Structure 1
Amino acid sequence: MSGLADPVVVAALVPFRLVVLGASAGGLAPLRDVLSGLPADFPIPIVVVHHLGADLRSRLPEVLNFRSQLPCRWVVSGELPRSGTVLVAPAGANLVLQMDGRLEVVPGPKPRLGWPSVDLFLTSVASVLGRHAIGVILSGMMWDGAAGIAALRRAGGATLVQHPRSAAFPDMPSAAVDLGRADLMMPPHQIALALQILAEAGVH
């Protein structure tokens, strides 16, 4: 997997409306690398879905803000994603994208692969936005995100994966490649560049 030909062709045809960054164990460093590589005027809204323990007082948005030029904060249920902001899915619940484009925090039992579920959110994004969305899978254990990437790819969206050799925990990116058939596989700093190229191509 190399080059940007196929995703850029897609982006040239339709503007992207959402970027989803999915991660779990070992995901903080690549998340920071991706976000630090994006400019303050990056035009596509971003949602981060990172596994978090329900009993932990996470400061994930605050930590991401240290390196990101885009402000990061927790998702508020019922809000619309907006450009210039990174929204982070909260702990102890799942997140879905509703048909009206609003984000909904969904309480419920913990999924087997951890919560917030990357698969659940990406699958909802695929249903609502289809080829207008970009899905990215970063470091993590097991295989959450693979089914979501597969759904997004079937719907025509662009799918990127951290190269497993650059991941502290390669299970999630490897599963996304093997099961989800992601379009591109690259280290985090190159993912940031790819997102900028896709964003720029999508506005022409």
Structure 2
Amino acid sequence: RMAHSKGVQVMVDGAHCVGHFEFNIEDLECDYYGSSLHKWLAVPLGTGMLYVNDAHIDTVWPIFAESNRDEGDISRLNHTGTHPVYHDLCIENAIDYYNRLGGARKEARLRYLQEYWSSRVRDVPNIVVNTPKASYRACGIANVGIKNIKPSVLAKRLMDEYNIFTVAIDYANVKGCRITPNVFTLTKELDVFVKALKEMAS
């Protein structure tokens, strides 16, 4: 609202939101919203979503010239040339799977998994959990680091020594690895991760 009061349009980077927790884009009152669907809908890389407020559809230029649709038709912005058809097909299946699970159930499961492992290392010496403890401030994603170990080194050691894939984050005052278990992750697998962190921190 502050930006809008100054005549500034707002775009939200919601890369991790769709399929992660329940929300309504319209509640954000943004002009544009972008999301990466491969993250929490588990579809192939290269899939994404762009929301454009109805008021702006006819002011956005499509990537390729489009002459067969009205200016207010959002589908004119989806003309990107030839692309793999399996992207479109798998998105439909992923949304169907998400709906069968139920957004609230998936959100609860993801939050449970995050709190399962993070609660076991928060008080361990040398381990730094960069994600707030309060449930309402986080869901499935958490970031954890170990003092005196660079995030890139931590990620490499987790992969090389424990076969655990993570993403190193080392910017904006956040130093650690992003941990993102999905609904199918087992707690016994998270136990392996917790054990690995404790061993490296000791």
Shorter-chain TM range is under 0.3
What TM-score results when the alignment is normalised by the length of structure 2?
0.22
Greater relative contact order structure (CA < 8 Å, 6+ sep):
1
Instruction: Give the TM-score normalised by the residue count of structure 1.
Output: 0.22
More helix by share: 2
